[in-house]
Structure 1
Amino acid sequence: MDNLKQAYEELGLPENASREDIEKAFEILLKKSRSRQSAPDSSTDPEADEYEKKLRAYKLIIKAEDQRKIAEMSEQRFSKWGKFAGTAEKVDDFFRLYKARVIIGLIAVVVLIFGINAYIDHREEQKRLAALPPIDLSITMVGNFMTDEHNGGTPGLEKAMTAQFPNFKRLSLEMLFLPGQGEGGMAGTDVAYQQKALAVIATSSPDIYITDKSSFNWLVGGSAFLSLDKEAAGELKALLPEGAKVMGKTDEDTEEHVYGIDVTNSSLFSQLPLAKKEVIISLRGDTKNKEKALELIKGYLKSLPAAAK
């Protein structure tokens, strides 16, 4: 005799008994149990084992009923698949049981594909850079400058600057946007721009800085620039109009020196796809391309209105 059939017999029910009949039988069982527990000698009641048997029988029947209902619902759910209902149910069971593993597997595939594409892009970029001519000068622009996106943005500006100097095959340009500081100081977002610029400046070594007045004043104190006193009195002197020398002091030297050359009004610089207010060219203190940097300064100085007179 199977366990389920025996369970029905324990409760005195036929195997086709309804759920309502099963629950009624259990309620009668509970009432008898409560009456027995309230009796004085309930601890020695010989019917205790019988109650436990019927309780186990009830639980077995209810479990079987729940499983039957689940099976019926599942059959109705997959009936639309016709002869493929069994296959559809197996697939559903698989994804239900292994959902987490499937999701993790899909994520792993996506990450793998992304990684492969990133690696390929990196290799292609390395090939592109390797095919380019060596850098003649590296330039970092710091200040309230804005490139013209319709003319290629920063790469377009880089290309346009290189084209202005036939002796140069390639200029490398990096833009660090830094809003001008008003009388009330910098706003919160402006401070964030300044912190970002400071981080880049601390970890890069360009040959030239091109700044506006506000950014020049911010950087000069930290000894970022090379003194151009000697050059201003020598090879640049004939090209320097009045007011083109930009003086400054460092935190370590309170004496003023020439740390920048103002080429704001250079017609050559004005041809570039760049929005600007002031343009001050300074050499980094440890530049390794001083001669080429001075050549660039001379090129812009020659196109200043005063130099043409």
Structure 2
Amino acid sequence: MENDKIKQAYAELELNENASKEEVEKKYDLLLRRARTRQQSSGSAQEGQVILERINAAYRIIQEQDTAQSKEAFNEQAYGKYKGMAGTAEKVDHFFSYYKFHLLGVIVLIAAIIYGINTYVDNKREQAELAKLPPSALAVSFFGEFFGADGSSPVGGGMDLKPIEEKLVKRFPEWKRTTVHITYIPGDPKSGQDMALLQKSLIDLISNKDDVYILDRPNFEKLARDNTLIDLGAHTGKLGITAEDSRAVLFPTTEDPTEKMFGVDVSNSPLIKSLGVAGRTYIAAIRSDSKKLDNSLQLIQAAVSDTSAP
């Protein structure tokens, strides 16, 4: 029955069953043009419509047969090796082909869950290890265009900060432990990565809440202007420096045009240079909400005492 249907379709197109695809296309195009010409003739319009429908129906049957044969040939090549399991292999392959994007999404979701669990476990482990240590006597942040003196980058955890913390403890043994952060901020942001680093600096500023900040000039001005730093003018006795000293860094805030001593230039301090952090300018300042003011003042005083006025 199916063969008779196909024979009739070829006959409708005035072709034999062995006709090539190219012959089918050419004949179909020719008969199509003839039928449309009859449609445009007022006396043969209805006859032309009937012929057009028969031609299209025959062409569809031949195309469906051709598609079925191509699929059969492909399946034979792809799944014939599975012999009796060919049908099952084809279904499995179709399943993965159809659902590959869904499966990919599930895989990504599972990976994200695993990453989240591992991060949580690592954080818990880190917190447990920190709980065994003495409390941090001081948190110091290098905030600006700073990087390792050996060329190492602080971006992405590429710089080991433990040696810096150990050097501070060695200089102030009564502290037992210190915490150091480095937030790299590009001086002339241009790329998307630079903008991401600027956004990260804001997050670090909010989340880390360090006590002493070692800043380059642009970031010192930003923090001083926003009232993020304390006025060191009230602590000149402990610092051993006055506002008139050339190392005192004065700056106004957005609320008060009067310049105040928000920082101390410690760029020439052997103590600061010994920490192994490279930069152009080092301005020491104290965060306005620091809970460790005495230790903060002690660090800056030590940096001042071994620094000659520029």
Same fold (TM over 0.5): yes
**Equivalence for 2:248:** 246
Deviation, 1:290, is: 0.7
**Equivalence for 1:285:** 288
Give the partner amino acid of 2:142. M
Structure 2: gaps (5+ residues): 153-158
Cα distance in 2, alignment partners of residues 287 and 222 from structure 1:
16
Give the partner amino acid of 1:120. N
Give the partner amino acid of 2:184. F
Mapping 1:68-217, distance limit 5 Å: 68-76=69-77, 78-79=79-80, 81=81, 84-88=82-86, 90-96=88-94, 98-132=96-130, 133-148=134-149, 152-178=159-185, 187=188, 189=190, 192=195, 195-196=198-199, 199-200=202-203, 203-204=206-207, 205-217=209-221
Aligned length: 288
Structure 1: gaps (5+ residues): 181-186
Deviation, 1:225, is: 1.8
Radius of gyration: which is bigger? 1
**Equivalence for 2:263:** 260
Give aligned-pair identity as a percent: 22
Cα distance in 2, alignment partners of residues 144 and 52 from structure 1:
76
Relative distance call for 1:19 and 1:208 in structure 2 (3 A) is same
Give the partner amino acid of 2:175. F
Relative distance call for 1:86 and 1:214 in structure 2 (3 A) is same
Relative distance call for 1:295 and 1:52 in structure 2 (3 A) is closer
TM-score for the superposition, normalised by structure 2: 0.68
Cα distance in 2, alignment partners of residues 248 and 6 from structure 1:
96
Relative distance call for 1:5 and 1:141 in structure 2 (3 A) is same
The yes-or-no answer on 1:270 pairing with 2:273 is: yes
Deviation, 1:74, is: 3.5
CA RMSD for the aligned pairs?
Answer: 4.6
Cα distance in 2, alignment partners of residues 203 and 120 from structure 1:
25
Deviation, 1:42, is: 8.4
Cα distance in 1, alignment partners of residues 45 and 197 from structure 2:
85
Cα distance in 2, alignment partners of residues 200 and 9 from structure 1:
76
Secondary structure of the corresponding residue to residue 142 of structure 1: strand
